[in-house]
Amino acid sequence: MMKIGVDAMGGDFAPKITVLGAMAAIKKFDDIEIVLYGKEEEIKKYLTDDTRITIKNCNEVISMGEKDPVKIVRSNLDYSLVEALKDGKDLKVDAVVSSGPTQAVVAISRLIVKPMKGMRRVALGPVIPSLDGKGKFLLDAGANVELNAENIDQLAYFATVVAENALGWKNPKVGLVNIGEEPGKGRQVDKEAYELLKADKRINFFGNIEPKEMHFVDCDIFVTDGFSGNILMKSMEGTAKMMSVMLKEEIKRNTRGKIGYLFMKKNLDKFKKRFDVTEVGGAMVCGVNIPIVKAHGNSDEYAFSNAIRLARGMVKNDVIGKVKAGLGELGE
C-alpha cells in the first residue's frame, strides 16, 4: 500500500476539488492511501467517504500570487504544501500532489525535498497533447529560466527513464526544441545541447524539432530551457483557448450552426477532450528525490484524480530509484 500526500488547499477550487479528486482516485486504485494536508474543518465539508484517507490539519495556505517561497519555508508556519513535502522528504508519504502556484511548488519542492544527487536542476515536465493521443513529454516547462547544455542533457535522460517507467513508452525518442531542423540551428546553448544529446548513449536522440511539427512527429520527449519551454506550453494553451472560443462563436452565430451542433455534439465533445490537458492531470517536478506532481491550478475533480494517478504510476514503477540508478547514485 503506497501513501500519497495531497496538498488539499492548492488550486483555484480548493479544498472542494482536491477532496473530490482524492476520493475519486481512491475508488479507482485499491493500492493507494491518501493523506490530505489542509484545514480539517473545510476538508470535512467535502469528505463524504474517508476510506483510506486521513487528514493532517494545517492552518496556512499559500496564496496563488506567492512570490517568496524561501520566506514560506523559513516561516515555520504549517502551510499545507510545506507539511506535505516535509512528510515526503521523511518518506512518510511516497509522493506529493499539489495544485498550488507553479513557481512555489517547484521552489519549495527543491528547498524541502532536495534535488537528487547528480541532478543539477529541478525542472517542470508536463505531458502535452499530441495527435495520436499518447501525449508528448515536455521539459523544462518553466522551472529554470536558463539551462546549460549539460542540464538539458540530464533532463533528457531523466525524461527517458520517466517515460519508459511511469508512462510506459518503449525506447522513447528525445527531440531538442529548436527554430530549425538542421544541426547547427539555434543559440549557442542549443548547438551545444545538440552535440551532447547526439553523443549520449543513454537516450534515443531524434534531433532538432520545430514546435510546428511536434504534435505530429514520431518523437516522444522534447527538451529545452525553462523559458522557451514555458513560452511553448503557454502558446499552445493560448492558441487552443482562442480556437475553442472561435469555434463556439461560429457555431452559435446562426441556426444552421446550432442545428449542426445538435447532430455533432458528441463529436465536438470528443474533439475537445483530445487536446484537453486534464487527461494527464499535471506536470512532474523532475529531479527531486520523490515523485511530485503539480496539477493545474484550475483542475477539476477528474483532472486532479489523474494527477494522483500519475503520482501513483511514478511510485509504483520506482521511477526515482531508476533515475538514481542511472545517475550512479543508488547507494547514496
User: Residue 211 Cβ, how far from its own copies at the closest point, in Å?
Assistant: 4
Specify the residue, 90 or 216, whose C-beta has the smaller distance to its own copies.
216
Q: Is 118 left (phi over 0), alpha (psi -120 to 50) or beta?
A: left
| 104, 189 contact by CB (below 8 A) | no
**All residues at 6 or more sequence positions from 116 whose CB lies less than 8 Å from its CB, including other chains:** 287, 288, 289, 320, 323, 324, 327, 329
Cβ at position 58, least distance to its own copies in Å: 26
Q: Shortest Cβ distance from residue 130 to its own copies (Å)?
A: 7
Peptide bond preceding 140 in cis form (omega within 30 of 0): yes
**Where do contacts with its own copies occur on this chain (CB under 8 A)?**
67, 103, 129-131, 142, 145-146, 177, 179-180, 182, 186-187, 190, 210-216, 224, 226-228, 230-232, 234-243, 245-247, 250-251, 253-254, 256-257, 259-264, 266-268, 270-271, 274-275
* Helix or strand (DSSP H, E) at 27: helix 16-28
Nearer to its own copies, 117 or 253 (CB): 253
Nearest CB to its own copies, comparing residues 115 and 211: 211
Residue with Cβ nearer its own copies (34 or 106): 106
* Cβ contact 283:294 at 8 Å: yes
Of 202, 207, 214, nearest in space to 135 by CA: 214
The answer to whether 11 touches 99, Cβ cutoff 8 Å, is yes
CA distances in angstroms from 33 to 54, 125, 212, 318, listed in the order given: 8, 25, 41, 17
Do residues 254 and 203 touch, judged by C-beta distance below 8 A? no
Q: How far is the CB of 194 from its own copies (least distance, A)?
A: 13
The single-letter DSSP state of residue 283 is E
- Distances from the Cα of 320 to the Cαs of 11, 47, 181, 315, in angstroms? 26, 31, 32, 8
φ and ψ of 318, to 5 deg: 45, 50
Smaller CB separation from its own copies, 28 or 134: 134
Q: How far is the CB of 229 from its own copies (least distance, A)?
A: 9
Nearer of residues 99 and 230 to its own copies, judged by Cβ: 230
Nearest to its own copies of 183, 326 (CB atom): 183
The per-residue DSSP string of 158-222 comes to HHHHHHHHTS--SS-EEEEE-SSSSTT-SSHHHHHHHHHHHH-TTSEEEEEE-TTTTTTSS--EE
Please tell me the total number of residues recorded for the chain in this structure: 332
Q: How far is the CB of 304 from its own copies (least distance, A)?
A: 20
Q: How far is the CB of 85 from its own copies (least distance, A)?
A: 22
Q: Supply the minimum distance, in Å, between the C-beta of residue 242 and its own copies.
A: 4
Residue 243 or 330: the one with the smaller Cβ distance to its own copies is: 243
Query: From the CB of 215, what's the least distance to its own copies, in Å?
Result: 4
Taking the C-alpha atoms of residue 12 and residue 31, their distance in angstroms, rounded to an integer, is 28
Please say which residue, 77 or 131, places its beta carbon nearer to its own copies.
Answer: 131
